Amino acid sequence: MIKFGIVGLGRIGKVHLLNVQRYCDNAQIVAACPVSSKHLIFVQNQGIAEHYDSFDKMLEQSDIDAVIIASPTAFHFEHIVKAAKAKKHIFCEKPIDLNFEKVNEIVSIVQASNIEFMLGFNRRFDPHVMQLKASVEAGKAGAARILKISSRDPAPPPLEFVKHSGGLFLDMSIHDFDMARYLVGSEVKEVVAHGAVFGDLPLQDYDDIDTAVITLIFENGCMVQIDNSRYNSYGYDQRIEYFGEKGSISTQNLRENEVLIADEDGYHTAKARHFFIERYEESYRNIMIDFINHLDRGTSPTITPNDGLKALKIALAVKQSFTENRAVQL
């Protein structure tokens, strides 16, 4: 039985906590922090007996094998360093940090600590993406030529979140940069980005945007086009098309239900699922199960700190491209 401590009981922290407690027979969360009065009943209802007001105190609990870091991004670096020093395996939400040098330091710290580390790029574990990846690796479409990713949110995050998020490229698009690397199987050599503010939220006051079109050129020649929006009227739009020398492979949106109505006005279906936790519910469960199974078998997880470093490098180059209105070489 692998015993976890968790830091951070916000929206994503609760998702990870429930997935471990409900779906992982070979793991259990035994400690949590920080546990405020508003979290106490929730934590107790999940059978977690040990509650702490600090991460340091939780790490002193001797029976903890690993930690889930779901704290705000600003605390990830500190929490990773402390957990690695305490020889605890780590599952960390993305991003590791918004600073390239700090993430590079984490790569070295994790390698030197002889611990296992999994970064929470959960979309790799979406069943549709997993099938697409398997089809790509089986050569169904041949070598990559063009990859298209549409990632559109139904609404922007609160301004308070925007202030500390690093902006659309580092918070939202970074998932797509990781997905592009994962599916293309090569590294980015050039980026071009364009963006704008179309919605009512004054994102420009925080050097942010709500809409972007991004082009990535990979070393193997594949061209990737990513479009992002914070405002989408028909739900949470997540689509991918992989076009290769022999054909194409694509994923479509998951809808609120799969009922199809046909009448004199045509065919009607439900909207796309409205929220990312609903759309990627299975992926959050799958990534945690995969991490725990790796720990159980004594093997290394598939998403490393270096994957986080490479995605961040792309994101920073894309941000530079947008700011300076030019192509940027990596």
Return the structure tokens found at 109: 């710290």
Instruction: Tell me the average pLDDT of the chain.
Output: 95
Say whether pLDDT at 276 is over 90: no
Is omega for the bond preceding 156 within 30 degrees of 0, making it cis? no
Q: Say what percent of the chain tops pLDDT 70.
A: 100
At 305, the pLDDT band (50, 70, 90 cuts) reads very high
**CA separation, residue 78 to residues 9, 74, 97, 212 (Å):** 17, 8, 10, 32
- Residue ranges and CATH numbers for the domains of the chain are 2-115 (3.40.50.720), 124-283+310-329 (3.30.360.10)
Task: Quote the pTM value.
Answer: 0.94
Say whether pLDDT at 41 is over 90: no
Cα separation, 142 vs 235, whole angstroms: 32
Say whether pLDDT at 49 is over 90: no
Using left for φ > 0, alpha for ψ between -120 and 50, and beta otherwise, residue 22 falls in alpha
Cα separation, 56 vs 52, whole angstroms: 9
Q: pLDDT (tens digit, 9 = 90+) per residue, 99-113?
A: 999 999 999 999 999
- Give residue 172's pLDDT: 96
| 8 Å CB contact between 191 and 317 | yes
Q: Which residue has the higher pLDDT, 279 or 82?
A: 82
Q: pLDDT (tens digit, 9 = 90+) per residue, 219-267?
A: 999 999 999 999 999 889 999 999 999 999 999 988 888 899 999 999 9
- Give residue 278's pLDDT: 87
- For residue 266, give the H/E element and its range: strand 266-268
